[in-house]
Every structure is written in structure tokens, then in C-alpha cells.
Amino acid sequence: MRRQLTVLVSLFCACFAAASTAHADTVIGVFSDNGSSCSFSGNNTGLVTAHVVVRPDGGVRGVRFKAPIPDCFDAVYVTETVPEGVLSIGDSQTGISLAFQNCANEPAHVLDITYYASGGTTPCCELTLAADPLVGYLQAVDCNQVEIPMQSLTAYMNADSTCQCSAPPIPPGPPSLVYPPDGATSLVRPVVVTWACANPNALDMTCDLYVGTTATPPLLAAALPGTSVWSYSLQGLLPDTQYYWRAVSRNPDGGEASGPVWSFRTRGNDIPVVTLTSPADGATGVLLPVLLKWTGTDSSPLVYDVYFGTDPLALPAVVTGIASTQYSPPSLAFLTKYYWRVVGRDPDGGEGATPTRSFTTRPENLPPNAPFSPSPANNATNVSPSPIMAWAASDPDGQALTFDVYLGTNNTPPLVASNVRIPYQPNLLYQTKYYWRVVARDTGGLTTSGSLWNFTTRSNTPPSAPSNPSPANNAVAQPLNSILSWTCVDVDGHALAYDVYFGNTSPPPLVSSNQATASYDPGPQNYTTLFYWRVVARDPYGAEAAGPVWIYTTRSEDESPVFASALPADGAINVPTNATLQWSFIDPDGEPLNYDVYFGTDTSPPLVADHISATTFAPGTLLTGTYYRWRVVARDPAGHEASMAVRTFITTTISGGAPFAPSNPSPPNNGPSYSLTPLLTWQGGDPDGDLLHYEVYMTQGGAPLVYLGSTTSTSFQVQEPLVPGAIYQWYVTAYDDRWYTQGPLWSFTATYAVVPVAFASFGAVQNGTAVDVRWTLGGDEALQSYTLYRRDSRAQPAEIARGRVDRASDSYRDTTVQPGTTYTYELVVRSSDGNEFRSPVATVSMAALELALHQNVPNPFNPQTTIRYELPQEAHVRLLVFDVSGRLIRTLEDRDRAVGTHEVTWTGRDDSGQPVTSGVYFYVLEAGKQRLTKKLVLLK
């Protein structure tokens, strides 16, 4: 399509040249798909697309016009689109203004108008752009926003031989030499040849390249695309050889021009130079293993053969054809003299060899040095029960070491791990003294033991006393369905269990034991009653902390419900035809309510639903542009009622597709918020590409949903702090001025985001198909090691990385994540004295795959093109090709397909196997209930 539009813009120049005057003002015209204003030929029924192009005289920033349909056309307007980078107001049928992001100094494609022709077009029917009625003339402004004159170029529908046509394009100029200079010598291979060609009509051109060793070189490459300058890298040239070459340029209308024959000569082949660098010649006491190193110099890339052994007169080749400049021979002996040499080879057969050199290995294998510098330090106290045990060790021969770890509660600790690497992490008891030592082992089997070390683990810290009660202590007039909640923290990070005491006597009796949540539902409660309650928290090691006795009093009597809010707003206009009625009433006693709904077009709307518990009602698809009335009556279990006044709204007069339901929430559904003022985010979209407005609703503890506000982005910041430990429900409604779509009801638990002193920052962000986790550490602690944990909504936290703390800032890339999944990350950092620091939890929601149909590649194409599409879920797929009249040409796919990316190739043939003609075609993807369409062009 890009080349097609370039062609029509270039032909526009030619058309203008044929119609220009002494003073060439800015001109605007209409062109067909093949780029001509005289080629709207044929009189078939179907879609016709006209492309509007403007030719500026000195630069233009905007134009204003109208495109009336002449009676002789016998067609109706269907739709229109503007290219990327063009802004529009209005439409071509009543008057349109178009503005360009940048000043246009060359012919510019500004609008596509699609008509449906009925087959009755009069031959040589003239289509001319007219003045916008608001200004009364064709209007244009230059790059300084100064109004300039503009005239319209006439196009002809159903053109025949009597129609006025544009002048034929001028053939291109002959190619001219850019590089290398004609007759150049000693050129380094490969040689990049470059030439230029001018085209008076600014058409896209192609070039054929002829290269050989005779004065009449053969064709090497045909139809090389370009605009003004071409380059081509000549591979596989011979050294010290004379070459001849020329280029032939050609435009799309068949005009061509040949350049002269040029020549150059390549440089002769150089002998590679190879130099041995390590070990030094004659070196002794060389440590094992040995790494041989050398360098190579040549104008071409080299490969190497390595000769190595103990007989200098018969060295075998131990490795050949390697590109590396180093090699480590395996299994060398101690106190042995070795010889080696290297041969370097270039692609043209040139070789360069080094002299033979020698070295002697060290006399014997020495045992490892004793392990030292233990962590935890010897005699350390207050050590974590899950310490990262590390030590330093070395080997005089430079060999890799493994270790045996002995660990226990007496001074002759048993073996607990063999052949491990550094570090080692056990799970130990609290407040216990441990003894340990490490034995180092080299690859030859020699061992050395370190000293006996010891450390004492820290004691278990009890949890904090439960606090922040809800209902608050001494609260009065509380609902009869009050839910108890509290806050409790364990500094060791242990999961806590709770005993709950509750009743109307003091002290209250035990009602729940060892529950995992920091909330409790005592069930229905009586009016005007004083309740007592307290909580005891317990960690897995039996350490407990008891909260004080708290009290609250329930309401004194039953009261009628009170109307709070309703949507659509009273008197609202342009309400979507799939609108859902929503309302909220508050019951002072906290009792469940049921509702009667009255709805219709009458002054007194009829009853349409009674005694329902939901606070929404969907009346079905409504009529467009219609006046509706409605009201709701709320009723509590005692029969007390409250009614809202009759409310009215008018539905929209526009139809269209409904927005997609909001999805992929953050905080994740049923997960923690890690903030008392969380940023709510979700995913959404609209099939028509309309701007969406989102309305956010939230509730806590079963109370009526409260409208928080609206936004045009897919995020909303909660302003008022939430209650710690409380469970909140929320949903989002998407609105596109025509339709509402309500997302599902999600929930999360409000929690604190506690950042330890050791963390300056911690976060995780999506990076393509991976997640980047980054952190910066602070504080005065001597930090030693870290462990990174990850969990999704279905699994317990799992370790995904660990390592030593070598720098304040570090990162980790998680490449094992899946689309459409939400992950949480947490980092645990440990100091040398055994203290642990936990990061805040970072949440990343990976974007789910969406149904996508990509532009075919290449486009335009000949003889074949590839179409790629993506499925978010398994579906039955149909991929179809239609011509511009809507006739099915080819079925490319009609089968079940799995989730993921798929590719299909079309060779330009119909279902009967016959090749189709050049032109514009549409390809359509059907998957489930969704349908996507794109346009492609076949050029022959």
C-alpha cells in the first residue's frame, strides 16, 4: 500500500504538470487505487475507494473542502479514513478540515473515501472537489498558517477514451557512479558498490545490477528497490581480480535507462599473522588447568588449527577450524613438558603458522588451602535460624573446589552435605548453639579441613499485641451484622493463628481457635447490646501475644432504609441502550434489603421486578432516542420501606459495539493490596476504538457499593485510607457514549506496605515477555546474601534466584512468566550477623494475549505473502479473502487452532487454484464471535 500511494502521489505530480498554469497554485485531486485520475474504469457494482492527494505550492499545513457525489456517479457514500499523522474535523460529504502534524512540501495523501457503486455510472463522469459550505471556497493554509489559493483537479469515473488524461511519465535518468571510482584498485573485499539515479516523476524505481570479470558482465541481482541511491555488497569476490559492473534503472511504467560499464580491481590476498601469547615460551611451574592463548591478524576473519602434545616432531592437531583465540587442553599431567603451535587460515586459503613453543606443568598436585573467614562469624550470636552459611577457600593449583559440610549441636558435628558449592543454607532451631566445619576437596581428590566454628541462633520473637480493632473500642450504634477485624504483626515474618473471644459478658468466652485470618464474623447481633471481645495471636513456635478487651454497642432500634444514589443520573441524556439501572439504599440497622423496580416509558412506570436482593436491574436492549422513567422501593426484613423519586433519562441515538469487559485487576483478585491507598488498575478496550470512560465502585464488608469516581485511563487512585485487614469488593464499568459494559466483582485485602530499613527501593516491571526485578539496598547493616521469591495466584511463594550481595543496586530478569498471569515478588536479604530484611511485595500483571490480525508481509506482494494472527484462547478459526465487490475468493483457514501466534501463506490463487488478477483484496479473520479485517494489494 505504501508503494501504491507513492505511485498515486507521483502520478498526481504528472497530472498537475499537465494542468498547471504560469503560477502553480496548490492543487487537490482524487485518484484511484492504481494512481490515476482517469482510471476509475468499469461499471461494476461494489466498493470504490478514492484517494485524496494535495500537491502544495511551496508548502501546506492544512486544507478544507467538500467531496459531493455527482449524480452521474450512481453511488452512495460508505465511510472515510485519514492516514496516520493527519487530523480531521467534519466529513467529506458536508465539509471537512484536515491538518498535518508537519508541513507538507511534497505531494501528500490526506484522505480515503469509500463509495458503494450501483453499476449505473455515466461514462466520463466528472468528480471534482468543491468548497466547504462554511467558507464558500477551497481553502488551504501554508506552513506559516497564512491562507493560500487552492484549485481542484477533475477525476473521471467510468473513464473511456473521450476523457481527459494525464501526460505519460518521463523515463528515469541513467544511473551515475557513486563508489568505487571507475578503475579503482586494491579494494578490500567484500566491495560495496553504490550508484544514484534521478527520476523526474518521483516514482518508485527498481534497478538491475550486472557484475562479472568480463566487459559484458552478467545479471547478478534484479529489481532492487530504491528511490534515489542504491548500495549492494558484493560477496565472494576473488583476490587480485578485475571486475566490471553496470546498473539499469526502471520505473513502474516500463521506462528504463542503463548506466555505462564501470570497473575495479580487488586487493591481493595477505598471509595471516598468528602470535602465541600465553603461556610464555619455556615457562615452568604452570598451573593446571592450562589456557592456551594467541592473536591473529588478517584483513579477513580467521579460523585456527591447534597442534598440541609431548613430541615436538609429531604434534597432533587437537582442534581444527575454531574461531576462538584460546583453547584449554584437557587432562594434563603434572611435571610434564608440552609443545604447541597454531595455524591461522583465511577464507581464500591463505595460511600463517607460529613456531613451536613449550611449557612445563607444576611438579605435583597440592591439597587445597584450609577454608577460612566463616559466615556466620565464629562465636556469632543472634543468628537467623535459616542462615546463609558461607566461607572462603582457595587452591594453590587453581583447581575448582567442592566442599563437605559438618553441622550439629555438639563439638563433633555430623556430615550434613557433600560435594556442595558455596553457600549452604540449612533450617535450624531457635536459640540453639551449633558447631560446624568445612572440608575442601580439589579435582584430584585431595582434601583439607577448616577449623571448628560455632554460632548461636536467635530467640523467637513473639508477635505484636493485636491492635486497631474494628469496630473501634467503645464504638456505639454499630450495625447488627458487624464483623470483627484487627491488625497484628510478626517481626519474624511467621504466619499467625488467632483465638477469638466474643460475647455479651466480661470476660468474653472463646468462640474461634487457631484461625488464619485477622477477622471474624460473629453472626447476627441483638439491638442495644454491649459486646466484649479480645484476640490472642500465636506464631508457629507457640509464642503468644494477647490484645486488650474491647467493647462496642449495637444500634437501639430498627429504622427504615434511606435512599443514597442511583444511576443513570436523573435527566441523563445519551444513555447507552444496554444501560443497567443501579441504586443504593442504606439501612441504619445493617439489615439486608430487597427491592421493587418500576420501569417504562409511561409517566407512572409499571412494576417490572419485585422483592429482588440485587441492587441492579438490566431492562434489556432499549430503544434509541427514547425517554424512560424509573424508580425503586427498598424494604427491610421488618417491612419498613423507602422509595426514591421517579427518575428519567433519554437513550442515545447512536448504535455501535459495546466496550470489552474490564479484566486483569490489580490488586489481583482475592490478593493483598500492600497499600492502604492502592492504585487500582485493569485492562479494557473498545472494538470501535472509541474513547472510554470508566466508573469505579467499591464496598467493604457487604455494605452497598459506593461510586468512587470516573477516569479515561485504566487506573484509579484510592484517596481515603482503607481499614487494615478489611476485605474490599470493587468493579469497573466501561462507557463509550453508546454502551455500558460492567466488569466482574473483584476483591482484595487491605494491607500495609512495610519497607525495611535495608531497602532504599524495590520494584518489578514488565519488559516485553519477561519481568525485570530491581532493588537498591541501604542502611548500615553488613549485608551478605539475598533470596528472591515469586508467587502467582495459584501457588505458594517459590525461590527463583539467590546470590551474594556484592553491590548496593542489583536486578534479576524473570523470563519464565506467562501471559495473562499476575505475579508477586519479594526479596529477603540477610546480614552477616544473621538478621533478615524483607522487601515490600511488588506486583506485575502480565498482559494477556488478545485477538490480533497483522498486516500481510510483503504488501503489495507478488507472487506470495504471509498473514500472521494471534489467538488469546483456543478457537475455531476462519481466514477468508474477498475481492472489493465482497465476493469470497479464497478460504485460507477453516479449522480449530490453539492459543498463540499462527502464520498462513497466500500465493494469490483462488479456491479453484487459478491465479487472481492484480488489485485490492480484503482478508478477514473470524474467531469465535470476533471478526477482524485488513486490506492487501496484489501487483503483477
In DSSP notation, 491-555 reads TT----EEEEEEESSSSPPEEEEEESSSEE------TT-EEEEEEEEE-TTS-EEEPPPEEEEE-
Q: Please state the φ and ψ torsions of residue 906, each to the nearest 5 degrees.
A: -115, 130
Give the integer Cα–Cα distance in Å for 692 and 477.
42
**590 compared with 776, residue with greater pLDDT:** 776
DSSP string for 271-293: PPEEEEEESPTTEEEEPSSP-EE
- C-alpha angle 663-666-669 in degrees, rounded to nearest 5: 75
Q: What is the mean pLDDT of residues 169-198?
A: 84
Q: Measure the CA–CA gap between 288 and 300, rounded to whole angstroms.
A: 34
Cell numbers placing 270: 595477505
User: What's the confidence (pLDDT) of residue 7?
Assistant: 39
Given CA atoms 178, 183, 187, 192 in this order, what sign does their dihedral have?
A: positive
pLDDT given at position 8: 41
Sign of the Cα pseudo-torsion (584, 587, 591, 593, in order): negative
**pLDDT-based confidence at residue 798 (cuts at 50, 70, 90):** confident
- pLDDT averaged over every residue in the chain: 84
Residue 438 confidence (pLDDT): 95
| pLDDT tens digits, 33-68 | 655 656 576 677 888 888 888 888 788 999 999 999
Q: Between 101 and 212, where is the model more confident?
A: 212
Residue with the larger pLDDT of the pair 156 and 318: 318
Averaged pLDDT, 181-185: 92
> Is it the case that residue 274 has pLDDT exceeding 90?
yes
What order do you get walking across the sheet with 60-65 strand by strand?
86-91, 95-104, 60-65, 139-141, 147-148
pLDDT at residue number 676: 75
Residue among 904, 935, 919, 924 nearest 862 (CA): 919
Q: What is the pLDDT of residue 388?
A: 86
Task: Give burial (CB, 10 Å; 0-12/13-18/19+) of 220.
Answer: middle
Q: What pLDDT shows up at residue 18?
A: 35
Distances (CA, A) of 772 to 680, 737, 759, 824, 924: 21, 38, 17, 12, 37
- In which element (H, E) is residue 655 found? none
pLDDT at 202: 54
The CA-atom distances, in angstroms, between 386 and each of 302, 378, 538, 825 are 53, 17, 20, 20
The mean per-residue pLDDT over the stretch 107-130 comes to 86
**Per-residue pLDDT at 328:** 92
CA-to-CA distance for 451 and 437, rounded, in angstroms?
6
Q: For residue 501, give every residue at least 6 positions away whose Cβ sits within 8 Å of its Cβ, in sequence order, or none.
A: 507, 508, 509, 510, 511, 532, 533, 534, 535, 536
**pLDDT score of 11:** 38
In Å, how far are 334, 378, 758, 874 from 368, measured between CA atoms? 16, 21, 36, 59
pLDDT score, position 444: 76
Q: Is the peptide bond before 289 cis (omega within 30 degrees of 0)?
A: yes
* Number of continuous H segments (helices) and E segments (strands) in the chain: 1, 80
Spell out the alpha helix ranges (H) of 740-814: none
Is the pTM higher than 0.75? The answer reads no
User: Over 50: is that where the pLDDT of 722 sits?
Assistant: yes
Decide which of 879 and 257 is more confident: 879
Per-residue pLDDT tens digits for 863-902: 899 999 888 888 899 999 988 776 889 999 999 988 778 8
pLDDT at 502 over 90: yes
Residue 535 has pLDDT above 90, yes or no: yes
| Cα atoms in the 13 Å half-sphere on the side-chain side of 630 | 28
Q: Is 431 left (phi over 0), alpha (psi -120 to 50) or beta?
A: left
Q: Does the pLDDT at position 20 exceed 70? A: no
Average pLDDT over residues 63-75: 89
Pairwise pLDDT comparison (720 vs 326), residue with the higher score = 326
Q: Using the 8-state DSSP alphabet, how is residue 132 labeled? A: B
Least confident of 278-282, 413-417, 649-653, 745-749: 649-653
Supply the pLDDT for residue 17. 36
Cell 573485499, residue? 189
Is residue 737 within 8 Å of 624, Cβ to Cβ? no
Indicate whether 753 pLDDT > 60: no
Q: What is the mean pLDDT of residues 632-651?
A: 91
- Cα-Cα-Cα-Cα torsion 7, 8, 9, 13, nearest 10 degrees, comes to 100
Is pLDDT at 738 greater than 90 in this prediction?
no
The pLDDT of residue 758: 61
Give the Cα separation of 565 and 695 in Å (integer). Answer: 14
Percent of the chain with pLDDT over 90: 32
Is omega for the bond preceding 172 within 30 degrees of 0, making it cis? Answer: no
The rounded distance, in Å, linking the Cα atoms of 5 and 252 is 13
> Average pLDDT of 257-270?
88
- Whether the link from the prior residue into 385 is cis, omega within 30° of 0, is no
Instruction: Work out the number of other CB atoms within 10 angstroms of the CB of residue 336.
Output: 13
Cell of 814: 524473570
For residues 56 and 78, what is the distance between their CA atoms, to the nearest angstrom? 28
Q: Are 376 and 356 in contact (CB under 8 A)?
A: no
Which has the minimum average pLDDT: 161-165, 270-274, 388-392, 414-418? 161-165
Q: What is the mean pLDDT of residues 736-745?
A: 81
